[in-house]
Amino acid sequence: MNQKNDPFSQQRENEENKLDDDIELNEEDLPSQAMATHEHIRQEGEKELERDIWALLWSAIAAGLSMSASLLAKGIFHAELGHFSGSMLIESIGYTFGFIIVIMAHQQLFTENTITPVLSVMQKPTANNILLLLRLWAVVLLGNLIGTAIAAWAFGYMPVFDPSIQHAFHEIGMKVMENTPTQMFAKAVVSGWIVATMVWMLPSAGNAKILVILFMTWLIAVADTTHIVVGTIEVLYLVFTGALPWQSFVWPFAIPTLLGNICGGTFIFALLSHAQIRMDMQKDHTGSVEHQSHEP
């Protein structure tokens, strides 16, 4: 049938044209792009704050297991490539695999939650919202650690990987532990900032979401920063295989890295992002009041 003579096609085309006209007419009334991104992330954060605690926990455990793909891929690249000039740039691509799985599967990752629900709390800093945020952080962090611990134990004891790959896991973990507590914290601030930046970019990324995740998390690896979830897999592998005592996981790794990720994602990126939006909102409100005052 000729599409021009198809009444259904004609009706659909008319509806699409009307929708386009409505969008064009409303463009001037839309907030700035930054405000639109802020509102999108804030609404997502509200949904996360209200989720059932068991749903959050299971999603966080799944995320911890999925993040093991970062160590798996990076370890395989490390073992196969060996050491040559520039090998780290290729090896670091493996680091991105876990993030791609977790984010595209909408699983709960702690470092994502250092910005998404925080914007909602900053918008309405009530005691109840703060308690909901702390509950969310505690449940997601616990779930991530459970998932990563299971993965680290499996990597160390299940007869899956040959000795060269297991040796690569060992070297990757020991490289993390070369950092002092101060370096753990400072590098975690950088990775927290990068993850928060990535979360801010995703709503406007469209079909390029995977590329945004790939490049931003590759940057975390290339910069040799520390990350509480990926690093937990790397360090717990050493603990479970007897290369490190449990105390070394808690300090110098976990506590400084956790605080650094929170600082980079929440106290720096989220605060600055929210501050610019508050200024835009105040300016918009002032402009509206001035406009109303000049009306006859």
For the chain, give the mean pLDDT: 82
What is the rounded CA–CA span in Å between residue 42 and residue 104? 19
Share above pLDDT 90 across residues of the chain, in percent, rounded to a whole number? 55
Q: What is the pLDDT of residues 99-108, one digit of tens each?
A: 999 999 989 9
Q: What is the pLDDT of residues 131-176, one digit of tens each?
A: 998 999 999 999 999 999 999 999 999 888 999 999 999 999 999 9
**CB 71, CB 148: distance < 8 Å:** no
**CB 257, CB 231: distance < 8 Å:** yes
Q: What are the distances in angstroms from CA 10 to CA 4, 20, 21?
A: 7, 15, 17
Which residue reads 């962090």 in tokens?
141
Of 10-24, 223-237, 258-272, where does mean pLDDT reach its minimum? 10-24
Bigger pLDDT: 57 vs 285? 57
Specify the pLDDT at position 293. Answer: 47
Q: What is the pLDDT of residues 49-67, one digit of tens each?
A: 888 899 999 999 999 999 9
Structure tokens at 6: 């198809």
**CB 49, CB 132: distance < 8 Å:** yes
The DSSP string of the chain is: --GGG-HHHHHHHHHHHHHHHHHHHHGGGS--HHHHHHHHHHHHHHHHHTS-HHHHHHHHHHHHHHTHHHHHHHHHHHHHH-S-TTHHHHHGGGGHHHHHHHHHTT---GGGGGTHHHHHHHHS--HHHHHHHHHHHHHHHHHHHHHHHHHHHHHHHSTTS-HHHHHHHHHHHHHHTTS-HHHHHHHHHHHHHHHHHHHHHGGGTGGGHHHHHHHHHHHHHHTT---HHHHHHHHHHHHHTTSS-HHHIIIIIIHHHHHHHHIIIIIIIIHHHHHHHHHHHHHHHHHHHHHHHT--
Share above pLDDT 70 across residues of the chain, in percent, rounded to a whole number? 77
Domains of the chain (ranges; CATH) run: 35-279 (1.20.1080.10)
Structure tokens at 35: 């405000």
Specify the pLDDT at position 123. Answer: 75
pLDDT band at 269; cut points 50, 70, 90: low
